[in-house]
A and B are shown apart, each in its own frame.
Chain A
Amino acid sequence: MAVTLSFSPSTMKQYEWLLTRYPTRRAALLPTLRLAESEFGEIGVPEMRYVADLMEIPPAFVFGVVTFYTHYRRAGTGKYHIQVCSTLSCALRGSEDVVTRITERLGIVPGETTDCGLFSLSKVECLGSCDTAPMLQMNDDYHEDLSIDDVDQLIEQLRESAKGGSN
């Protein structure tokens, strides 16, 4: 059954503020998708449709834009999206070992989500933190200078906070 999406009044206010910052409505598309991402948790088909209708932009255009960029939270992403930087500087300092460790601990390879829906693992390109390699981005936060122990701790910590969150 289709759920009708709608921005909360406060998000709508932010959206209206955004429109005042650009000379064209379309220019506010990327930031509006960010609003939708935080309001609805992900950018899937209904979210794209909502934003398209709200902004009076052809849905296909929004679809083309969303799929061009890799950083919007696509539908079906786990609660914790672990994105391991895999570009050269991180690779030189062991990012592959980080990925391998996460795979061992979570039983998923890059591109997959755990059955419980808690974790998604991705290998991503340079996150602009090469001096702290190897590093990863978990949702919005950077975790840097990672050792294998750090990886273990992070996963434990996330599992704990997930439990805390559900109780």
Chain B
Amino acid sequence: MAFRKIFTQHIQKKTCHTMAFYKQHGGYEQAKAALSKRKKPDTLIDLVKASNLRGRGGAGFPTGVKWGFVPKTTDKPKYLVVNADESEPGTFKDRLIMEKNPHLLLEGILICCKAVGIETAYIYIRGEFVFATERLQKAIDEAYDAGFLGNNALGSGQRIDVTVHRGAGAYICGEETGMLTSLEGDRGNPKLKPPFPAIEGVFGCPTVVNNVETLANLPYILEIGADAYRAIGPENSPGPKLFCVSGHVENPGTFELPMGVPLRTLIDKHAGGVWKGRKLKAVIPGGSSAHVLTADECDVAMDIESLAAAGTMLGSAGVIVMDETTCMVDAMLNVMRFYHHESCGQCTPCREGTGWLAKITHRIAHGEGRMEDLDLIQDVCDRMVGKTICALADAAAFPAESIVKKFKSDFESAIQNGGSPAWKKRHPSVVGGAASHA
């Protein structure tokens, strides 16, 4: 079967975001079928389990299994929280869906709500996405006007309400439970687990947290069935996927391809290759939290298992490409500064560790590094990983330890030659002596 794009097929069309356009192209048919009274919620969960759909937010957890954790009978209301925070550096795919194809997301939400028995959904969108928020709100208004949302969603007799909830600038709110705390009106500190959100999530009630792209897969799964869906890409992490390519490529952008596309193909064919005819140096394949790959390690398929086997992760599929001129000390400083800025500060290892890594890297980049700093960085990373409430500490440590290990010579050079090339370029007088030393 030829690969069919489901997210980006029509995005060149001016009115692609409207309900009229969406319906014209078969939109909401799957939700109507799913919400019909004859359809049992369990068959929907089973279908999604059978499809092997895995979360597109970063962790890659099987979506159907996650839904299955939510208690069937409970006195409490259940909630769906759509993760539209998209804050992982290098990732910009959900924004595309929300701006160009918002009804696809809404249809996915309707299907999920039916499957899990949810009446209230929130779309937690990062505060910076003002335009996407407007588009989304417009789509929701259209859906309410058409009776697709509300007290009798799609005539099903089920109430389904959707509210857009804007964040206010915090990477940590993309973390599942940080998002829930933030939605409750608090500082976005992640919650202790257990209890897990499926049992006790937002407002102390059972909660499903799904990524935008994950939900946007649902109408297609219902349309073609689990078997056909599983046939797209590798069986264990199948489906159409949005890959984001940024950094030093000729043609950065979002590319919809089957899961498992070779990384080289993604960069060279779809993103136009490394820019300015330069050679490839490094790739971060799954958002800045992933372990970095050297050019030699880039013959790998872009799917969950293959990248895990390569010692990194698909994550949010945010591919950041770095060419041969990149100083990896500067790249690491940038990434470490990010995590230092974004740590919520609640757990000690993350609050202190991210700052420490940023300071050491800053010192090396600025010509005050010591050789023993390289071991120190590894050790600080070891001490951060697996010791915190959420994965932000890991997300900072993974790139740090892999960049230092795989690009050691860049660090040694910065230590021996009075700083990173970029820093020396900006401060020629300060490093004059040190530079002539080299």
**In the complex, are there CB atoms of A and B closer than 8 Å?**
yes
Question: Contact string, B100-116, partner A, CB cutoff 8 A, digits 1/0?
Answer: 00000000000000000
With A88-B90, A130-B90, A137-B128 in contact, do A69 and B247 touch (Cβ < 8 Å)? no
With A72-B168, A128-B128 in contact, do A88 and B91 touch (Cβ < 8 Å)? no
Docked-complex contact B168 and A30, CB < 8 angstroms? yes
Nearest chain B residue, comparing its CB with the CB of A28:
B185
A37 vs chain B, min Cβ distance (A): 9
Give the distance in Å from the alpha carbon of A84 to the alpha carbon of B77 in the complex. 41
Nearest chain B residue, comparing its CB with the CB of A32:
B185
Q: Is B163 engaged at the interface, CB distance under 8 Å to the other chain?
A: yes
A57 vs chain B, min Cβ distance (A): 8
Nearest chain A residue, comparing its CB with the CB of B163:
A21
Docked-complex contact A128 and B130, CB < 8 angstroms? no
Give the distance in Å from the alpha carbon of A127 to the alpha carbon of B183 in the complex. 20
Question: Contact string, B307-334, partner A, CB cutoff 8 A, digits 1/0?
Answer: 0000000000010101000100011001
Q: Is A121 engaged at the interface, CB distance under 8 Å to the other chain?
A: no
With A69-B127, A69-B169, A131-B254 in contact, do A89 and B246 touch (Cβ < 8 Å)? yes
A31 — which chain B residues lie within 8 A by C-beta? 165-166
Docked-complex contact B131 and A126, CB < 8 angstroms? no
Q: Is A71 engaged at the interface, CB distance under 8 Å to the other chain?
A: yes
Nearest chain B residue, comparing its CB with the CB of A33:
B168
Give the distance in Å from the alpha carbon of A127 to the alpha carbon of B338 in the complex. 12
B95 — which chain A residues lie within 8 A by C-beta? 128-129
Nearest chain B residue, comparing its CB with the CB of A100:
B426
Q: Is A111 engaged at the interface, CB distance under 8 Å to the other chain?
A: no
Docked-complex contact B320 and A64, CB < 8 angstroms? no
Question: Contact string, A98-138, partner B, CB cutoff 8 A, digits 1/0?
Answer: 00000000000000000000000000111111111100010
Docked-complex contact A24 and B252, CB < 8 angstroms? no
Size of the chain A interface, CB-CB below 8 angstroms: 41
Question: Contact string, B155-194, partner A, CB cutoff 8 A, digits 1/0?
Answer: 0000001010111111100000000001111111000000
With A27-B203, A125-B171 in contact, do A88 and B335 touch (Cβ < 8 Å)? yes
With A23-B77, A133-B246 in contact, do A71 and B169 touch (Cβ < 8 Å)? yes
With A70-B169, A129-B95, A130-B89 in contact, do A89 and B247 touch (Cβ < 8 Å)? yes
B342 — which chain A residues lie within 8 A by C-beta? 125
With A30-B168, A65-B186, A69-B170 in contact, do A130 and B92 touch (Cβ < 8 Å)? yes
Docked-complex contact B89 and A87, CB < 8 angstroms? yes
Docked-complex contact B320 and A65, CB < 8 angstroms? no
Give the distance in Å from the alpha carbon of A163 to the alpha carbon of B426 in the complex. 35
Q: Is B17 engaged at the interface, CB distance under 8 Å to the other chain?
A: no
Docked-complex contact A92 and B320, CB < 8 angstroms? yes
Q: Is B363 engaged at the interface, CB distance under 8 Å to the other chain?
A: no
B96 vs chain A, min Cβ distance (A): 9
Q: Is B86 engaged at the interface, CB distance under 8 Å to the other chain?
A: yes
| Neighbour of B185 across the interface among A26, A124, A130, CB < 8 A | A26
Q: Is B288 engaged at the interface, CB distance under 8 Å to the other chain?
A: yes
Nearest chain A residue, comparing its CB with the CB of B172:
A68
Docked-complex contact A126 and B87, CB < 8 angstroms? yes
With A30-B166, A34-B166, A65-B186 in contact, do A129 and B334 touch (Cβ < 8 Å)? no
B329 vs chain A, min Cβ distance (A): 13
Q: Is A149 engaged at the interface, CB distance under 8 Å to the other chain?
A: no
Q: Is B149 engaged at the interface, CB distance under 8 Å to the other chain?
A: no
| Neighbour of B186 across the interface among A21, A26, A28, A140, CB < 8 A | A26
Give the distance in Å from the alpha carbon of A140 to the alpha carbon of B133 in the complex. 11
Give the distance in Å from the alpha carbon of A89 to the alpha carbon of B287 in the complex. 10
Give the distance in Å from the alpha carbon of A87 to the alpha carbon of B245 in the complex. 15
Question: Contact string, A4-44, partner B, CB cutoff 8 A, digits 1/0?
Answer: 00000000000000000111101111110110000000000
Q: Is B341 engaged at the interface, CB distance under 8 Å to the other chain?
A: yes
Question: Contact string, A53-91, partner B, CB cutoff 8 A, digits 1/0?
Answer: 000010000001100111110000000000000111101
Give the distance in Å from the alpha carbon of A70 to the alpha carbon of B322 in the complex. 28
B126 — which chain A residues lie within 8 A by C-beta? 128
User: Which chain B residues numbered 222 to 239 have a C-beta less than 8 Å away from chain A?
Assistant: none
B188 — which chain A residues lie within 8 A by C-beta? 68-69
| Neighbour of B252 across the interface among A70, A125, A131, CB < 8 A | A131
Docked-complex contact B320 and A133, CB < 8 angstroms? no
B170 — which chain A residues lie within 8 A by C-beta? 68-70
Docked-complex contact A92 and B248, CB < 8 angstroms? yes
Give the distance in Å from the alpha carbon of A26 to the alpha carbon of B130 in the complex. 23
Q: Would you give 28 A-B contacts (Cβ < 8 Å), ordered by A?
A: A23-B77, A24-B184, A26-B185, A27-B185, A28-B185, A30-B166, A30-B185, A33-B168, A65-B185, A65-B187, A70-B168, A87-B89, A87-B334, A89-B320, A92-B322, A125-B171, A125-B342, A126-B88, A126-B89, A128-B86, A128-B126, A128-B128, A129-B92, A130-B89, A130-B247, A130-B318, A131-B244, A131-B252
Give the interface of A toward B (CB within 8 A): 21-24, 26-31, 33-34, 57, 64-65, 68-72, 86-89, 91-93, 124-133, 137, 140-142
Q: Which 6 A-B pairs have the closest CB atoms?
A: A71-B169, A130-B246, A69-B168, A29-B185, A70-B169, A89-B246
In addition to A88-B247, A130-B246, A131-B92, 20 A-B residue pairs with Cβ atoms within 8 Å of each other are A24-B184, A26-B186, A30-B166, A30-B185, A31-B166, A57-B185, A64-B187, A71-B127, A71-B128, A71-B168, A87-B89, A87-B288, A88-B89, A88-B284, A91-B334, A125-B338, A126-B90, A126-B171, A128-B95, A131-B252
